[in-house]
Structure 1
């Protein structure tokens, strides 16, 4: 087994904090998820997480108008210039403090960065500016007396509107312009949330946190604003400050000089100016200072409507689309409203949750609006014209406690401490159903082998079975006396379900068909923390691990009283069966993983992995990281698909892969480098250590949070359900290998991380010799020796070369070539066919290869591995679902067109049958003839979607 696993995707975390960004085409939305960035493709219904990451959580994003450059800034002020073409970091820049907002100009020449109350204008690198040095400072503005909250550019990229927390809005010119410096707008009574220029105009709209909307009219057209011929670069800091101060006092000096001249003329006997002349002089000086004026047209109070239902509602986000002139405002009660400007007519109002909306954004066309909530990690895209959800995704509001792969590796089920069970598609990375029947945290989850249902255990005292096809809870298993269940398992046949008690030290056995309790298995003297059934179809062996330092092997079908007890010498944290069903792996509190033989109950190998976890030091720890690592242990283990390796993780950011036979560490993965989480650093900085001890132990009270203490509750490790705020502790709750062996998933504090094999980097030949070269493969193809060319390409193990050989083989010779292959090359060819079917358009051609290969070698035992067959089955299932939708749509469309043609033909022949009939009724009538089952299933899905919170509406 090869271990070239690399980070592939992030599931379960939809949105964390910061602003959203739409791509220039408006079909994708970019969302910050902690210290990573996820791109949601709304057109193709897919999402991908960039492989790059930052040391801290992202708070501000900005995308260039052409979509090639992305600037991401984290909470410590570290900016990354990212190329969206190669998805790599081009340059890094460090600001002194955090960045409030960042914005590109419409022409792509500049981008503005707001740092505290200062706005910095940088030249954007690229062909537009001819500047390829990143972060070249062009100008600097002082925004206001408080932090800058919003930046917006005019359509011609000449002016910049700066909204501040001190309720003022400042308009600045990027280039030096004739007779214009800055212009201040006031009139709000609260901090500015956003401000927007109108399209091809200098008219401005400003919105404050208390819901006040002010419409400003400018008296000058953009074409009247002429640029002066001044040097583009800034002078030194001292000279620039002196010139700015001189320019602000320029108009006042002109007025004083003019009045002095008039006084001198009066003393010399010349004519004395009157009061009207003095006023004209002052007006001319004022016009010289400001070439245009802003006039407040109207003021509207947008918060009056949501305050009818709830008091103390504040406006949290707003966005304006200049093309459609539609304004969206979001409030702290989870409601958002759409208004049409400048009349401020309400178009629509909707409430998505009870939590504040953190970000709101229109796409370029103005048809879709994206809304995000930081409190519950929700992101949705809503089409306001048709009033439909384009995307509605929500992750777990707290940590994921358990995960499970479906038997074909196509789905992943996750259970969280928020009592939700979610199903994720591994290809699209979207959650398509959410089960919320549990009333407490979910502790265990597992799929049945036939992929028809899954079961989950919870601390609410129930074990529930969910139908995957109809998305409903069809069985609920309970115990005679109330008990909290900590783990669950399903046998190979899918007829038996067992669950272990946490407060009652028993194991409960139910029948899935009848839902009755068959047996209560007693024998443990501590909480049962892990259960596992034998993966062999002919065996009903059950293994249970408990905190009483024992592992028991049961035979559920013969007698529940007969069992084999194994002393583990320490508290058991997790057990796992090997794919062959001959041995089990046991993880204990001592940090070791011990392998036992199931039949003889003898100990095989022991893996000492405590030092491999290398846990860090928490901020509030009073002991060193080295001493803290002595208490680490593995809380979750899993066998690989071939049974040669064990995947293990625990209270650490590291995931370890061990070889079972040799008991050695093969590779270690670090799931995150996010220092916003607690427990990654090995040492505490000296600046936090004082003569009184660690400053993190001091209870600091936040003024904005009503004096709440910002530390964790005593003894809380997995999650804090109180109202206190603290740094989450990094750890891994569950790891699972994909049944195909091509990937593994890890549920941690950051979310559900998917690691997949990177075949493009590793050169992994098989039975390579000197005569096997790419040149020899091409020569064999020219000689039409297809079997030799295919064998040599399989030895080289190059996917592109194998695909070239496969597509050069004539269609009629496929069966003959498959018959000439040896069993070892037939297995490798099956894996390559599964890989090629994912992206190739020649589906029928590769299906013929698969059919001939399975027909010729499928009757021999041990030729095809289980993982290769599962990979092929997964790809074929996905292709079938995709083509099935297209074919159904085309079939119904063609039937409607043919029926319409028949009606037109009848009418042309003089038929008396009327043509004015409802086409929708025809469509429904045709669908009812052929697709009654599909309609009933679709109705069940719709019913379940209305009950679930995080379902996706496609």
Structure 2
């Protein structure tokens, strides 16, 4: 039951702005979560932190420790990026479209509607009021859309939709009560940036960029000022708790506790002293002149994203037609002008060194990192355009295949979260996926009337299975030997059987009177189970040609059917929210789980009943047994995924797949203030709205059918789970949801779960046994304690000569735990031969016991197989590379000789 959220794949980017931290970490919003991609290691991880709605803006501190995320509901989270936890929360009264940390990290500039607010950045320590409002500027006449700090953190540029860029000074000084205005643009401002003089390293120019594809250059000329003119005074008296009102003792205590952000606060608190001193360079005491107007000349397109790199004096811009441009300033020389898609570019950003460009397209779920000098891709990821319909784990649990309504199949590497290959031969929605056992082959079924077989070694479609007349397939399976495959149809209610080797149609199974949405072969017998909307589950003898050998009737439509891994039980879910368990051998109903109350929750905008009273339409559309068959996962038309104990028929745990209020069905109680005579306020179309940020509202998915009795949703996307799959190793499972593919895995953190505890079984006893050169006794004690660190320590402490004797003395009840430790060691331990020798001797000593207990040891053995297969592939690639390198060196040496 110790499953924790691990990752979110299938959607690398969903809208908002992307940022790069530390020159290698790409941070991008994915719905209401934040994804962090390591561009060097090619790994992506999604933070377990969730915002209340889709994220609109993110910002990161200069040191890379803190992350600010603001969602569509103007709720802000202050996140410790290293620890992946939320430190503070705050809500704003207006929408936020611009947010940025100051260069010294002490302050945060936030555009809250028409207001520019300057907040003091919280630190590592705990505070009652972590966010402190320093200044509020109310000079803008429209929403603020762009912000930039001066290098000294004393001035802020703010661009807004009132076609104006304003220069604000952090402190209100005499003679500078009003901000300087940069005028002349004819559309809303997208970006405003300070430019430094390379010789003096001071601000010499300002660039302002507007949505009508224009960029203005403003030159600065400094004017000498007297010392008296520089003395400023605060607009408001110091608030309680500021450094001016603290005693000396309180300041000493504060400085001792605040060990991480002391420098930041001193920089801000000493800002008055810096302004009081004589300074020859102040932006508000100089002269600003418009020196140049340039236009990007993109007809029928709007400028939607931009960024500026000060060190290289480069500007990158993205347009609504999918074109981006890179320009050298101040001469406005076009370096690159390329098209990466046909949809709007919603984010464009430089990395720290300026050699990589990051682009995001929210509508396509596309995220690109491009090296502009060599014109090569560093990262190229794209999610599914529509919802994911089906999932399938590879037999070694290293890959996950997804099929969606966009007609595409994608292969994802589970360990890294990256998409390795995309198959796009289908011409309609992909509805079912299945991995063949024992070979590298993937099967897919689609509404286009074809079942295709894909080779995972050559990445091509090597066989296509069709029917005499066009049919729409919605379910797919194959037998354990891989000789035949079966597919169920949506329109003709038939099951088609093909030969895998020849591709010939062998048989057509008729008898169902509704769409066949569930198909699965028995793991132990050549029997096919099928479920249909005609309220029946049928068993078929495919190889003998006897047709339906058993029929299990139900009172409601049957949505899916699965076999337990030992083949002794059959589970199916019905439209009334119940799960029925059958004995497929005797044909008897064993028991039933009523899950209507468990899955109930979440009220749609169009519902007339409350969430507690509305149980109609709540049902499980996907079931999946665990690797050992002890529990079953069930998900469907709800925000919950339920885990049941099969033997006791009790609910063990309930996973809520998302808390995103931007989706329909997340709230149990609706706000009556949002109800109007025309219906819910969120579902009323506003033709005058300017949907520039994030993904436009659309009804995802294009399947031409719905569940029986359900109504199609024409508003916001609805929370639901379309498919559930548990990895063959049993250590993780994945769910295809509206938010993407959620992956949960067993937490590796230590949990005290001893198997045979006694007074003498202690960590000290393990160390004492190792000191006395008794590795066998130490290993047994560590296995009884069931502490991962001690078990691995004792395994490594055994001498290679003593491995056979120690392996033969291991009791049978500890084999599973020991095999799991071997699988984990192979992932991280450099002693490959040593661990493989352990595995070999363990199989020699307990081969018969392992064969008899294959069901209970199957998850651990598959984890070990996964680790060995991965290392074998890595060594094969390394050997192949070295072989070619040696041949090249030998041929070069012969020529030189």
Q: TM-score, normalised by structure 2?
A: 0.89
Is 1:198 matched up with 2:195?
Answer: yes
What is residue 320 of structure 1 aligned with on the other side?
308
Matched, 1:482 2:470: yes
> SS at the partner of 2:434?
strand
Match of 2:874 among 869, 882, 890: 882
Aligned equivalent of 1:702, options 672, 678, 687: 687
Deviations 1:543-584, CA, capped at 9 Å, x for gaps:
111111111111111115352111122211000011111221
Aligned to 1:259: none
Q: CA deviation at 1:133?
A: 5.5
2:363 corresponds, among 375, 381, 396, to: 375
Q: Is the 8 A contact 2:434 2:476 kept in 1?
A: yes
Between structure 1 and structure 2, the one with the greater Rg is 1
Find the aligned partners of 1:440 and 1:66 in 2 and give their Cα distance: 47
1:174 alignment counterpart: 170
State how far apart, in whole Å, the 2-side matches of 1:495 and 1:883 are: 32
Are 1:64 and 2:61 an aligned pair?
yes
Q: Does 1:291 align with 2:291?
A: no
1:832 aligned onto 2:830: no
> Aligned equivalents of 2:364 and 2:228: distance in 1?
49
| Separation in structure 2 between the aligned mates of residue 605 and residue 47 of structure 1, nearest angstrom | 43
What is the match of residue 331 of structure 1?
319
Maintained 8 Å contact 1:143/1:162: no
Alignment partners' CA distance in 2, 1:288 and 1:650: 62
Instruction: Please point out which of 86, 90, 93 is paired with 2:90.
Output: 93
Q: Distance in 1 between matches of 2:307 and 2:728?
A: 45
Counterparts of 2:503 and 2:828, CA distance in 1: 43
Q: CA deviation at 1:346?
A: 1.4
Deviations 1:817-853 (A, max 9, x none): 1122122223321111112222223333323322322
Cα-Cα RMSD: 2.8
Deviations 1:17-52 (A, max 9, x none): 2111111x2111001111111101110010111111
Q: Within 2, Cα distance between the matches of 1:184 and 1:75? A: 29
Deviation, 1:294, is 1.6
CA distance in 2, matches of 1:98, 1:602: 59
Conservation of the 8 A alpha-carbon contact between 1:126 and 1:132: no
State the shift of 1:879 in Å.
2.5
Greater fraction of residues in helix? 1
1:125 corresponding residue in structure 2: 122
Identify the residue that residue 922 of structure 1 maps to in structure 2: none
Q: CA deviation at 1:134?
A: 2.5
CA positional deviation for 1:756: 0.7
Residues 1:343 and 2:341 aligned together: no
The answer for the alignment partner of 2:349 in structure 1 is 361
Partner Cα distance (2:642, 2:31) in 1? 23
Aligned to 1:771: 760
Are positions 1:512 and 2:500 aligned together? yes
Corresponding residue of 1:646: 632
Q: Aligned to 1:855, what secondary structure does the other structure show?
A: helix
Q: Which moved more, 1:480-489 or 1:820-829?
A: 820-829
1:208 aligns with 2:210: yes
Q: Which residue is 1:598 aligned to?
A: 584
Offset from partner CA, 1:610-665 (integer Å, 9 cap, x none):
11101321111112223321431111101110011111111011111112222111
Alpha carbons 1:124, 1:131 under 8 Å: kept: no
2:620 is the counterpart of 1:618: no
Paired residue for 2:735, among 729, 738, 746?
Answer: 746
CA distance in 1, matches of 2:476, 2:758: 50
CA distance in 2 between partners of 1:711 and 1:69 (Å): 33
Is 2:858 aligned against 1:866? yes
Confirm whether residue 146 of structure 1 aligns to residue 142 of structure 2. yes
Query: Secondary structure in 2 aligned to 1:30?
Result: strand
Secondary structure in structure 1 of the residue aligned to 2:796? helix
Contact residue 637 and residue 646 of structure 1 kept, 8 A: yes
Which 10-residue stretch deviates more, 576-585 or 356-365? 576-585
Q: Deviations over 1:109-167 (max 9, x none)?
A: 2110111111111222349x999953212222235211111001122222211111111
From 7, 20, 23, the equivalent of 1:22 is: 20
CA contact (8 A) 2:223 2:285 kept: no
For the residues of structure 2 that align with 1:53 and 1:288, how far apart are their CA atoms?
A: 42
Distance 1:204 1:365 in 2: 21
Q: Distance in 1 between matches of 2:776 and 2:339?
A: 64
Q: Report the Cα distance in structure 1 between the residues aligned to 2:145 and 2:487, rounded to whole angstroms.
A: 52
Q: Secondary structure at the match of 1:317?
A: strand
Answer whether contact 2:683 2:715 (CA < 8 A) is retained.
Answer: no
- SS of residue in 1 equivalent to 2:644: strand
Match of 1:553 among 539, 543, 551: 539
Q: 1:533 to 1:795 in 2, by over 3 A?
A: same
Which whole-Å deviations, capped at 9, do the CAs of 1:415-461 have from their partners, x for residues lacking one?
11111111111000011111111111111111111241111111111
> Are the counterparts in 1 of residues 146 and 158 from structure 2 also a CA contact under 8 Å?
yes
1:137 alignment partner in structure 2? 133
CA gap 1:109/1:886 in 2 versus in 1, 3 angstroms: farther
Where does residue 794 of structure 1 map in the other structure?
Answer: 783
In structure 2, distance between residues paired with 1:810 and 1:223: 79
In structure 1, the partner of 2:103 is 106
**Contact 2:697–2:716 at 8 Å: present in 1 too?**
no
Q: How do 1:275-674 residues align onto structure 2 when only pairs under 5 Å count?
A: 291-302=285-296, 304=297, 306-307=298-299, 312-536=300-524, 539-674=525-660
Determine if contact 2:174/2:233 at 8 Å carries over to the other structure: no
Q: Distance in 2 between matches of 1:702 and 1:666?
A: 47
Report what 1:821 is aligned to.
Answer: 810
CA displacement at 1:876 relative to structure 2: 1.8
Q: Tell whether the 8 Å contact from 2:699 to 2:717 is kept in structure 1 after alignment.
A: no
Distance 1:726 1:202 in 2: 50
Deviation at 1:94, TM superposition (A): 1.2
Q: State the Cα deviation string for residues 855-878 of structure 1 (Å, max 9, x = none).
A: 332344225522111101111222
Note the C-alpha offset of 1:725: 7.7
Q: From 4, 7, 11, give the equivalent of 1:9.
A: 7
- How much does 1:225 deviate? 11
Give distance in 2, aligned partners of 1:288 and 1:566.
Answer: 84
Report the equivalent of 2:46.
49
Write the deviation string for residues 83-102 of structure 1: whole angstroms up to 9, x where unpaired: 11211111111111221111
**Residues in 2 aligned to 1:117 and 1:854: alpha-carbon distance in whole angstroms:** 71
